[in-house]
Amino acid sequence: MSAAKRGAQPAPWPLSVGALDECLASLRAGADFKTTLEELLLGLDPALAEHLMLLLREGRGAWLPFLRSSGGHALVLGNAFSATAHVLAGAGFRPTLCDPSPERMEFEAARCLALTGVKLDIVECQGTVQLPFETNHFELVVFEGVPHGWRTDWDATLAELVRVCGGELLVVADNRLGYKHSLGARGKYGVPSPLRFCLNVLGGVRGEHTLWGYKKALQGADSASPRAFALYPHSLDFSHIVGLDGIGPKLHIGPMERRNKLKLVGQATGLFPVLTPSFAIIKTEPGLARVPLRIERILRELSEQLDEPLPVADECVATRGNTALVQTAVPGANPEEPEGRWTLHIPLSPQQERQISRHHEVIERLWSPQAELPVPEPLFHGVLAGLSLSCERRLAGFGAPELSGDKACLDRTLDDIAGHFAGLAVGATEVLDEAGFAKHFDERFDLVRRHCGHASTARAILRLRDQTREQVLGLEVPLVLFHADLRSKHIQVDGRGRVLGYLDWGSSLDASLPYTDLLLFLIHEYKQSRDLAMPVAWRSLVEKGPLRPTEKEKLQGYAAALGLDEGYCRALEGCFPIFVAAMAESNWDYSRPRWVHRTFGL
């Protein structure tokens, strides 16, 4: 691209001018998208790469089930790094992407083609008042905020989007009264100063409104009142979709949140819609207003197929793994009654479709009313209302992180895990000779080393491989069903810490090495409950200094039940980062730059 032409175009924010040149040149030459994206991320400053990865998350489209439309022409206006266009393409829409940055659009068009096989229409608009589309042209319009480089203000842009929308208009917008905002890194949020908050009350920085202001701007003379949802904690990095009109999914408040009295008071007094940081607001044209929401059609079909009462969406989570997870409940029913209480997994990326399929396959194999290992009861896997999904029985209790720090509960949880997972031996053993080591260790070490992105880390991985080889060569070990991601958030417990079910089997392996599942649970529990960095938590466990007697007892009991050599256990503790990173690299849609170095300090 010539300097003169580039000078007339906005930078592909959050990247600078020219930052995408090599990436786009590679894609035009036919390079693999995944490899090209990984090279781009490796070349960026770590903080900038983190910000870009937040924008790239398909989970930002987790509002999809709450639309009425299920196909047709869709316009997406906003920063094209957002995954929204290809999420819609995968859900049956024909998207047109509109952004003042041609570089961002070319990038997303390549991504959409690689992931869905759909060729996006792209329209470069520099923020002129008149969009180049006929009135009512689109069945769906998604406005994700005024993109950098857009020259028309928010209200004028909104009016033009209303003109071209013939069905639903979804606006993702920040609340000018929001009490926090994303800092551009996962899980990191800032709180406005008192002065900044007062200025926001008087007027938003980029045209932001309050909830009432957005609804007023979208309310047409002949249309129903817009539906409003909170994207909480913030639109760039949200985990919950919460209905703000007295219906729709509610905000989950578990035991940990109940300790936050201020949060409880705000929720009880109705301040959540006033101060929540971000919204998704949906305006529906009269001709579409009587069409049920996609989630309503899905639930009705499931109710008929399963012959159970018709539930509603009780909670909706946008998972880190880019899935819309919907928990259901039957209005007015006893929550102890299982019928109509389901968990739906709706994948928003092709990679998640594969993982959800694997998860359903495993729990179908494991579940029975008499099974010693508790997993959710599988109910459905297939396509409903044009969306691929799986459905299982919603478990009682709550996620194990809600009891983090409670030692008595942790002991009961660990006791159950040790007993349950000792029973996952598949009946075969593996001699860790040269062939066995290559199969179970070399493949993992090589995968992690290829993606580590750091020369000193690559050398450390080779040294660790040689050390591990010396420790385990010649040993014989039983093979087990390996969960591979047994963190506390994937364990459902009761109020005493007893396990009610193990969740998320999408990364599992049928015949793999034992012991790592327990290590992962314990190390993550140390990390969460003590607010430790992962390298500190890992090395603490390896050195055995902080382990309590009951924790040592459970690890030793598990090892004894499977006949594991003590040297083998020490070797697995030492190479634990490799097993975790290999699982991640095998299941991510793209490698996170220098992840094993940043996470474990290797």
DSSP 75-125: EEES-TTSTHHHHHHHTTEEEEEEES-HHHHHHHHHHHHHHH-PPPEEEE-
Residue 106 reports pLDDT greater than 90:
yes
CATH 3.40.50.150 domain residues, the chain: 21-288
Q: Which helix (H) or strand (E) holds 430?
A: strand 425-431
Handedness of CA 407, 408, 409, 413 (dihedral sign): positive
pLDDT at residue 547 in the model: 73
Q: From the CB of residue 519, how many other CB atoms can be counted at a distance below 10 Å?
A: 20
**Better-scored residue on pLDDT, 505 or 248:** 505
Q: Which of these CATH numbers, 2.40.128, 3.30.1300, 1.10.238, 3.90.1200, describes 398-600?
A: 3.90.1200
So what's the pLDDT on residue 2?
Answer: 42
- Whole-number pLDDT of residue 467: 96
What CATH number does the domain located at 21-288 have?
Answer: 3.40.50.150
180's CB contacts (< 8 A; 6+ apart) are 189, 190, 191, 192, 233, 234, 277
Asked whether the predicted pLDDT for residue 202 surpasses 80, the reply is no
Tell me what pLDDT residue 542 has: 77
198 pLDDT band (50/70/90 cuts)? confident
Rounded Cα–Cα distance for residues 182 and 234 (Å): 6
Helix (H) or strand (E) holding 370: none
How many helices (H) and strands (E) the chain has is answered by: 23, 21
**Mean pLDDT, residues 280-291 taken together:** 91
Angle among Cα 37, 42, 48 to the nearest 5 degrees reads: 90
Residue 515 predicted with pLDDT over 90? yes
Distance between start and end Cα atoms, the chain: 40
DSSP lists the bridge partners of residue 242 as 230
**Closest to 184 measured CA to CA, from 79, 52, 40:** 52
Q: What percent of the chain has pLDDT over 90?
A: 72
What average pLDDT does the structure give for the chain?
Answer: 91
Which is nearest to 75 in space by CA: 13, 163, 15? 163
Q: What is the pLDDT of residue 593?
A: 94
The confidence score (pLDDT) of residue 549 equals 85
Cα–Cα dist 173/228, whole Å: 11
User: How far apart, in whole angstroms, are the C-alpha atoms of residue 486 and residue 518?
Assistant: 8
pLDDT, tens only, 214-232: 998 888 756 678 999 999 9
Handedness of CA 415, 417, 423, 425 (dihedral sign): negative
Position of tokens 């709706």?
Answer: 346
Name the phi and psi angles at 68, rounded to 5: -90, -40
Please count the residues of the chain: 602
Range(s) within the chain of domains with CATH label 3.90.1200: 398-600
pLDDT number for residue 1: 45
Please tell me the predicted confidence (pLDDT) of residue 4: 39
Task: State what percent of residues in the chain have pLDDT above 70.
Answer: 94
Least confident piece of the model among 166-170, 290-294, 542-546: 542-546
Parallel, antiparallel, or unpaired: how do β-strands 491-493 and 398-399 relate? Answer: antiparallel
DSSP 546: S
Distance CA 485, CA 341 (A): 25
280 φ/ψ angles, rounded to the nearest 5 degrees? -120, 120
42-49 mean pLDDT: 94
What pLDDT, on the 0 to 100 scale, is given for residue 8? 56
256 pLDDT tier (thresholds 50, 70, 90)? low
Work out the burial of residue 130: count CB atoms within 10 Å of its CB; fewer than 13 is exposed, 13-18 middle, 19 or more buried.
exposed
Q: What is the pLDDT of residue 559?
A: 95
* 87 or 537, higher pLDDT: 87
* CA distances, 215 to each of 90, 245, 277, 483, 506 (Å): 29, 11, 16, 46, 40
At residue 46 the predicted structure's pLDDT band, cuts being 50, 70 and 90, is very high
pLDDT tens for each residue of 328-373: 999 999 989 999 999 999 999 999 999 999 999 999 999 999 899 9
Over residues 19-28, mean pLDDT: 96
Q: Which of 154-168, 277-291, 353-367, 399-413 has the highest mean pLDDT?
A: 353-367
Per-residue pLDDT, 104: 95
Residue labelled with tokens 């209905």: 243
**Phi, psi of 284, rounded to the nearest 5 degrees:** -120, 130
Return the CATH fold of 294-393. Phosphorylase Kinase; domain 1 (3.30.200)
- Rounded average pLDDT over 19-30: 96
Q: For position 499, what pLDDT does the model report? A: 97
pLDDT tens for residues 459-480?
A: 999 999 999 999 999 999 999 9
129-169, pLDDT tens digit by residue?
688 899 999 999 999 987 776 767 778 888 899 999 999 99
- Cα–Cα distance, 97 to 554 (Å, whole number): 54
